[in-house]
Structure 1
Amino acid sequence: MGYVKLVFFTLYTFLCQLVISSSLPHLCPDDQALALLQLKNMFTINPNASDYCLDIITDQVIQSYPRTLLWNKSTDCCSWDGVHCDEMTGQLIELDFSCSQLQGKFHSNSSLFQLFNLKRLDLSYNNFTGSLISPKFGEFSSLTHLDLLNSGFTGLIPTEISHLSKLQVLRIWDVDPYGLRFGPHNFELLLKNLTQLRELDIYSVNISSSIPLNFSSYLTTLWLPFTQLHGVFPERVLHLSNLESLDLSYNPQLTVRFPTIKWNSSASLMELHLSGVNITGTIPESFGHLTSLHELDMGYSNLAGPIPKPLWNLTHIESLLLRDNHLEGPIPQFSRFEKLRELSLRNNNLDGRLEFLSFNSSWSQLLEWLDFSSNSITGPIPSNVSGLQNLQRLDLSSNYLNGTIPSWIFSLPSLYLLYLSNNTFSGKIQEFKSNALSLVYLNQNQLEGPIPNSLLNQPSLRFLLLSHNNISGQIASTICNLKILIALDLASNNLEGTIPQCLFEMNLWNLVLSNNSLSGTINTNFSIGSHLRVISLNRNKLTGKVPRSLINCKYLTLLDLGSNMLNDTFPNWLGDLPDLHILSLRSNKFHGPIKSSGNRNLFAQLQIMDLSSNGFSGNLPESLLGNLQAMKEIDESKRTPQYVSDQYADLYDYLTTITTKGQDYNYVRILDSNMLIDLSKNRFEGRILSIIGDLVGLRTLNLSHNVLEGHIPASLQNLSVLESLDLSSNKISGEIPQQLASLTFLAVLNLSHNHLVGCIPKGKQFDTFENTSYQGNDGLHGLPLSKHCGRDDRVPQVMTPAELDQEEEEEDSPMISWQAVLMGYGCGLVIGLSIIYIMWSTQYPAWFSRMNLKLEHRITTRMKKHKKRY
């Protein structure tokens, strides 16, 4: 009996130990802990490496933090942040490095690849720039989730990724557009092998192929935007029964044809993003079956006609984006969409009025974004609108709206983006109730009155554009409260008084106050580290000098101080600004010579230099003109010119006033291909420098109304893209170089009121210029002037045999009257025969006789030729 008790006790003890041991978590194996510590030491911590983390499911910003800083070998690695182990075995199965501020290179010998049992690996939102995706990633045979989103990997995506047959989630996003790419047929192989995929998210990766037919039947999410897909999208994918979210945006070579009958996925599909793809035909009736659809984006997809009726069945729709198409007709009653949060019909051909806003239905309670900009909507905005308490973004710009801006817009409590520009709104700007305004665009209307105080006390305001209105009063000093303001444009209003000093000391990028009645000096101290890119103060009443502290504005691209009363010598030191592209000092009181400088890098990026209508004197500035490196080349990449803008290109283009082709253009957008020099209406003297011919990118050259003399340099023939040349009202002498006829882009030429002589060149562009181009030059001859240069209106010159033959053909032209030809040659024959008779009668030498016989033969031959022709 004692023996039995002993056996029973031993067995009981063993079972208890077994139960206890199985209930306790196993510690992290030493080799895995060592591998993790080695992995940690491969990278440095840099907060900027994860400066913008985003949850792609909720679209919410995530706060990054350095997960690995607290990793310590004295604690169990399974308890480390981002590390998850199997509770039974202790093996590491999940590693989450997302938004961990890691920076460095991922090498193929990384200790990461020693963690063979990994099932989930998330390396998203770090900076591994320059790292290749190692083929060893394909050795994680148990991996079900792989996330390489925005992690800086580059190069070819290895074929070995397709070996991960258990993979359910694959995300690969590229920070550098198309820095990652698939090899030929590798994308097809990936889809063929990964039969368990639930979510495939590939963004800004160069797939550059058609879409294969093989897709996992489990697929719920398929995102392939910006991947250079082409061909026809397989319709069978739209019938995947589990498909919930499809995004093929911005693949312009991809064509999508919708099923004409009910989709198999119609019950499950909730998100459909096809912006920037080619949608053929109209939206079919089958769209009406997508009753679960919450988000529909088909912008930039060539849709035409009225808004399709099948869309009215989508009663659960929350986001409807049909912007930038060719839709037309009246605006429908969107009030039937009671769950709508976002509605954008920007840049279509819709007309009618905004009457649907007056419907006080429950739909308006949820609306956050309303965009009807760039259409043909007319009339006033309805005033009896209520319920839009959650509206955050309102864009009605570039329409034909009029009347006053209704008070309900100023009362929106959540409003932070307001675009009403380019309409004909009148009346005053009321006080805003929202304290969250970030962008306010009310420019190009007929608004009046002062700037409301509520606008000048917005803590989040970044863009304030009120230009081209009738706003009056002074710029209040309370504008200094706008601590994070980036762009301020108050141009073309009726503002007066002085410019608040703080505007030059804030963190502004664009400061535009032109065309007002502002006075005083620019006696300010631009601080070191200034972010200013644009300073436009032209057409005011400013006095004094150009402040030397402008040299601290190292990012300055445009400086326009034209049409003021500034009194200074030329600020040569501005040439040290490394990014200065546009400089206008026109119509001021600048004076004196432009001094030379030995610095070859001055004004190296300048593409527009306007110093016209001042009192500059002395010779043309050879050193300055020789430094304009940006004008010394023709950038072939600018065959399709773009407007010069800051990095907020969609929000703000650079404007200035220029004179070209004989016309003044106020506040024009500047093309990056536009190269202009205007030194007109000064007192420059001496000769026109031949080095101007080195500025081959020039499109406008204006040296008129000076006291220049000497000849026009033939080197100007090198300005092959020159469109406008004005040398009028000087003392230039000599002939017009024949070489200028090679300037085939020359549209405007003004050489009037000089001392030019000789014949005007003929051919190409010179055949298009009028008399006004040459008037006031008494010594000029030729077309279009009435003073002829002889039979062909050209400068006499030695002709080649080929040119002589061409001349004979021109002389033989039927445009010449044959009667006149016979009369001329008849007279010549009589004179010739008379000479022969005298020669024989006076015994002239035989050689003279032979010469006259040849002359007679030539005359009679030409006579026969003309008789035969006519």
Structure 2
Amino acid sequence: MGYVKLVFFMIFPFLCQLSLSFCSSLSPLCPKDQALALLQFKHMFTISPYASAHCEFSHPKTLSWNKSINCCSWDGVYCDETTGHVIELNLNCSKLQGKFQANSSLFQLSNLKRLDLSYNDFSGSLISPKFGEFSSLIHLDLSGSDFTGLIPVEISHLSKLQVLSIQSYPDGLRFKPHNFELLLKNLTQLRELYFYGVNISSTIPLNFSSYLTALQLPLTQLYGVLPKRVFHLSNLESLALLDIPQLTVRFPTTKWNSSASLQMLRLYKVNATGRIRESFGHLTSLRNLSIVSCNLSGSIPKPLWNLTNIEELNLDCNHLEGPISDLFRFGKLSRLSLGNNNLDGQLEFLSFNRSLTQLQFLYFSFNSLTGPIPSNVSGMQNLQSLSLSSNHLNGTIPSWIFSLPSLTGLELSDNHFSGNIQEFKSKTLDTVSLKQNQLQGPIPKSLLNQRDLYSLLLSHNNLSGQIASTICNLNILQVLDLGSNNLEGTIPLCLGEMSGLWVLDLSNNSLSGTINTTFSIGNKLGVIKFDGNKLEGKVPQSLINCPFLEVLDLGNNELSDTFPKWLGALPELQILNLRSNKFFGPIKVSRTDNLFAQIRVIDLSSNGFSGHLPVSLFKKFESMKITSENSGTREYVGDTGLYYYTISLIVTTKGLDLELPRVLTTEIIINLSRNKLEGHIPSIIGDLIGLRTLNLSHNRLEGDIPASLHQLSVLESLDLSSNKISGEIPQQLVSLTSLEVLNLSHNHLVGCIPKGKQFDTFENTSYQGNDELRGLPLSKDCGSDDGVPQGLGQGEEGDSSMVSWQAVLMGYGCGLVIGLSIIYIMLSTQYPVWFSRMDVELEHKILTRIKRHKKRY
């Protein structure tokens, strides 16, 4: 018996431990009322695959909720191990969609300590004041779930809260006045505060939790001055203030109290000017330093190079100047971005730098760097993205760049590089921009075998050879810009079958043959530029399969076709350029509604179009019937911000052929010049009140200038020269105060040139070649301002006018008597009928001249 007792006492501790381990492995039993509350909450929402679209990983956690299973075992539900009460609910990225009710059953879980509802879809739902009843809550995350309206003041009752995260689309959520100050005052235990897109519209109060480790307030419309106390929070690890231009930030001049703890400092578009303080050199724990668009100036201070733990340094879009050096100190650096500054000097530091082994991203674009890229660079085998565009770099592109094994992005555009483009070792390229250099030779074959390439810009170089059909293997390519080179041969047929392509620019090369490309149904093409080549034949009718097409430029080729009126069915077409080809026949459209409704620029100049001006076409131009007022923002046609591609267009305006590097949506242009068009100028053009440029010159137009043109209030250039237009210049055109260039030369205009406003600024060249036109600036007098012929004294006005009228009436009267006498003799002596007809015409001319004379005087 003693032996048994001994054994029992020996194994008793083990049995207890085993028992406790077994018990702890069992989930505590969830109270039935809380399980029911959770199930009721579940049934208020549907599961939508789009509800958590912003999540990298999403999972419908509530699908596992079943009343037959203990709720403490449900996905996202955590219970107190002793009481079984639900104390944590994590429904982050759970694909929930529906209205979050103000009296939701969720508020019955009164013991909740942690609640995460982020990244679901509760569109249109208000944040209920009942959230303030979770008295034990220490963690609340309502980010990215599309709550709207006011943030209730009851949130400030959560006195135990340590983490508060609320993210909204801009102005989706807002505070009442003073409620933000009240919240920071009451939440004395707060460690982390994340507000994104919340309209706070107040200053940051001086009194807030001293325990803060994270303060991130992007897009919150704060104003005033950031309290100095923020920089001296001893536990502060991250500070992010983004897109708050009314918030002034003044950096400490001495060592910060948070120097030892601060790991991330991100300031973007806040009011921070002046130099980078040397006090930054004390932030020895800093890993991420980003100060962008803050108007910092001066050189980069040397103490900054002491931040040896820095992993990401971003000082883009400032006014920093001086050379770049000492970067070899940053052994842990993975991202370095100093673009859009005034930095100069050369990239010599790369040639002896073997410490940047972790560097993955290097961005120095839009500076004033000079010289070649060093060729003896090593130790940067992890580099994935290299951007040195818009500098003054020259020489050849060194081979080490083409040998980078993991290169995904290469941007060296707008420099002075020469030589050939070598074959790339990397097979992971997604964007290559080498445009605006002096590169030559063929397009490398390795570029045409990149399965991840979505942007290829090689324009404005001296590349030669043909465009290989293997370019169509780039399955996800979105931008193909090969314009302004010396490429020749035909356009590959398969280009129209690239389903993801948005920009196809082959302009200004030596491409020949017909456009046999078949544009397949379902393509996404928005820009097609084939201008400036030697293309022949007709416009391919498969272009009708391009429903997203905004820009079609086929100008300066040798195309021979009638007007492709069927293009009017393209719903998004805004620019149509067919200038300088061999188009012929009348310009006609069908009666179908909404044809060319979005057109803003139409250039059919220098062709062989004939017939009357297309009244039926002008009626369709709905976008030209709207005046685009200056809203302060500049919008461009076809501008998607895709990888530095912008649409250029040659237009004839203000008497010049200009290349617009970008086309404003307000640039409304009609150019039908240098054709064989005839007939009158239709008054309906006056309805196109958005017109900036109207050019109908060098045609066979006749009749009067319609007075309705005075409705074109934003017209800047009007060219009607070299036609057969007659009559007087309408006085109403004086109201065109935006008119900068007027050319009415070489017509048959008569009468006086209008005076006042813009008409007082036009030169003689605007009117030359109109023999019957009088007035300033021509040498032929048209009388003084009050209509009196020049040279008469003030006292002679009445008598002279009367004498003039008497002479005129006597002359015409005598002529009329003689004419009527001839008619009487002719009728009485039975003169031939042809003489009778001639005499009637003579009488009509006499009467017409009398009326015209009265009108003139």
**TM-score when normalising by structure 1:** 0.87
Is contact 1:759-1:795 (8 Å) kept?
Answer: no
Look up the SS of the partner of 1:437 in the other structure.
Answer: coil
Structure 1 equivalent of residue 696 of structure 2: 703
Look up the SS of the partner of 1:192 in the other structure.
Answer: helix
The 5 A counterparts of 1:392-471 are 392-471=384-463
Equivalent of 2:78 in 72, 79, 84: 84
Q: Give the whole-Å Cα distance in 1 for the aligned partners of 2:375 and 2:43.
A: 64
Q: Give the whole-Å Cα distance in 2 for the aligned partners of 1:587 and 1:36.
A: 72
Change (3 A) 1:126 1:516: same
Shift of 1:752: 1.0
Look up the SS of the partner of 1:274 in the other structure.
Answer: strand
Look up the SS of the partner of 2:198 in the other structure.
Answer: coil
Q: Over the residues paired in the alignment, what is the CA RMSD in angstroms?
A: 2.5
Q: Give the whole-Å Cα distance in 2 for the aligned partners of 1:43 and 1:546.
A: 53
Structure 1 equivalent of residue 234 of structure 2: 241
Q: Give the whole-Å Cα distance in 1 for the aligned partners of 2:747 and 2:332.
A: 74
Q: Give the whole-Å Cα distance in 2 for the aligned partners of 1:475 and 1:524.
A: 13
Q: Give the whole-Å Cα distance in 1 for the aligned partners of 2:627 and 2:395.
A: 48
Q: Give the whole-Å Cα distance in 1 for the aligned partners of 2:578 and 2:124.
A: 46
1:113 is aligned to 2:115: no
Q: Give the whole-Å Cα distance in 2 for the aligned partners of 1:825 and 1:545.
A: 68
Structure 2 equivalent of residue 52 of structure 1: 54
Query: Equivalent pairs: percent with the same residue?
Result: 70
Any idea what the Cα deviations from partners look like across 1:443-478, whole Å, max 9, x if unmatched?
000000111011111111010000000111111111
Q: Give the whole-Å Cα distance in 1 for the aligned partners of 2:796 and 2:468.
A: 91
Structure 1 equivalent of residue 568 of structure 2: 575
Equivalent of 1:622 in 615, 621, 624: 615
1:352 is aligned to 2:352: no
Is contact 2:526-2:638 (8 Å) kept?
Answer: no
Any idea what the Cα deviations from partners look like across 1:222-269, whole Å, max 9, x if unmatched?
001111111110001111110000011221111111222221111111
Is contact 1:645-1:652 (8 Å) kept?
Answer: no
Shift of 1:277: 1.2
Change (3 A) 1:110 1:526: farther
Shift of 1:93: 1.6
Is contact 1:596-1:622 (8 Å) kept?
Answer: no
Structure 1 equivalent of residue 804 of structure 2: none
Is contact 2:495-2:517 (8 Å) kept?
Answer: no
Q: Give the whole-Å Cα distance in 2 for the aligned partners of 1:74 and 1:566.
A: 75
User: Which range is displaced more, 102-111 or 704-713?
Assistant: 102-111
Shift of 1:645: 4.1
Q: Give the whole-Å Cα distance in 1 for the aligned partners of 2:795 and 2:357.
A: 101
Look up the SS of the partner of 1:48 in the other structure.
Answer: coil
Structure 1 equivalent of residue 838 of structure 2: none
Is contact 2:522-2:546 (8 Å) kept?
Answer: yes
Change (3 A) 1:307 1:440: same
Structure 2 equivalent of residue 489 of structure 1: 481
Shift of 1:162: 1.3
User: Which range is displaced more, 225-234 or 629-638?
Assistant: 629-638
Gaps of 5+ in 2: 1-11, 801-857
User: Which range is displaced more, 538-547 or 251-260?
Assistant: 538-547
Shift of 1:21: 7.5
Structure 2 equivalent of residue 686 of structure 1: 679
Equivalent of 1:389 in 365, 377, 381: 381
**TM-score when normalising by structure 2:** 0.88
Structure 1 equivalent of residue 181 of structure 2: 188
1:261 is aligned to 2:263: no
1:604 is aligned to 2:597: yes
Q: Give the whole-Å Cα distance in 2 for the aligned partners of 1:495 and 1:705.
A: 34
The 5 A counterparts of 1:113-512 are 113-174=107-168, 176-362=169-355, 364-506=356-498, 507-512=500-505
Any idea what the Cα deviations from partners look like across 1:23-61, whole Å, max 9, x if unmatched?
8533222332232223222222222222232xxxxxxxx
Equivalent of 2:87 in 93, 105, 109: 93
Look up the SS of the partner of 1:277 in the other structure.
Answer: strand
Q: Give the whole-Å Cα distance in 2 for the aligned partners of 1:649 and 1:134.
A: 41
Equivalent of 2:739 in 746, 754, 758: 746
Change (3 A) 1:673 1:588: same
Any idea what the Cα deviations from partners look like across 1:567-601, whole Å, max 9, x if unmatched?
22222222222222111111222222222433342
Change (3 A) 1:649 1:184: farther
Q: Give the whole-Å Cα distance in 2 for the aligned partners of 1:194 and 1:37.
A: 32
Shift of 1:366: 0.8
* Aligned partner letter, 2:729: I
Look up the SS of the partner of 1:312 in the other structure.
Answer: helix
Structure 2 equivalent of residue 634 of structure 1: 627
Equivalent of 2:659 in 647, 661, 666: 666
Gaps of 5+ in 1: 1-11, 54-61, 798-810, 812-819, 832-870
Q: Give the whole-Å Cα distance in 2 for the aligned partners of 1:825 and 1:299.
A: 71
Equivalent of 1:785 in 778, 803, 809: 778
* Aligned partner letter, 1:253: Q
Look up the SS of the partner of 2:742 in the other structure.
Answer: strand
* Aligned partner letter, 2:109: L
* Aligned partner letter, 2:626: E
Look up the SS of the partner of 1:252 in the other structure.
Answer: strand
Q: Give the whole-Å Cα distance in 1 for the aligned partners of 2:477 and 2:209.
A: 50
Look up the SS of the partner of 1:454 in the other structure.
Answer: helix
Is contact 2:28-2:72 (8 Å) kept?
Answer: no
Is contact 1:644-1:653 (8 Å) kept?
Answer: no
Look up the SS of the partner of 1:253 in the other structure.
Answer: strand
Is contact 1:617-1:682 (8 Å) kept?
Answer: yes
Change (3 A) 1:219 1:827: closer
Q: Give the whole-Å Cα distance in 2 for the aligned partners of 1:645 and 1:162.
A: 47
Change (3 A) 1:93 1:647: farther
Look up the SS of the partner of 1:250 in the other structure.
Answer: strand
The 5 A counterparts of 1:517-536 are 517-536=510-529
Look up the SS of the partner of 2:732 in the other structure.
Answer: helix
Change (3 A) 1:169 1:88: same
Change (3 A) 1:576 1:105: farther
Look up the SS of the partner of 1:276 in the other structure.
Answer: strand
Q: Give the whole-Å Cα distance in 2 for the aligned partners of 1:501 and 1:72.
A: 58
Equivalent of 1:32 in 14, 31, 34: 34
Any idea what the Cα deviations from partners look like across 1:66-118, whole Å, max 9, x if unmatched?
22233333322222221212222222222222122222221213322222222
Change (3 A) 1:452 1:825: closer
**Runs of 4+ with >4 A deviation:** 18-24, 794-797, 824-828
Shift of 1:827: 11
Q: Give the whole-Å Cα distance in 1 for the aligned partners of 2:109 and 2:441.
A: 69
User: Which range is displaced more, 594-603 or 353-362?
Assistant: 594-603
Q: Give the whole-Å Cα distance in 2 for the aligned partners of 1:528 and 1:157.
A: 48
User: Which range is displaced more, 326-335 or 724-733?
Assistant: 326-335
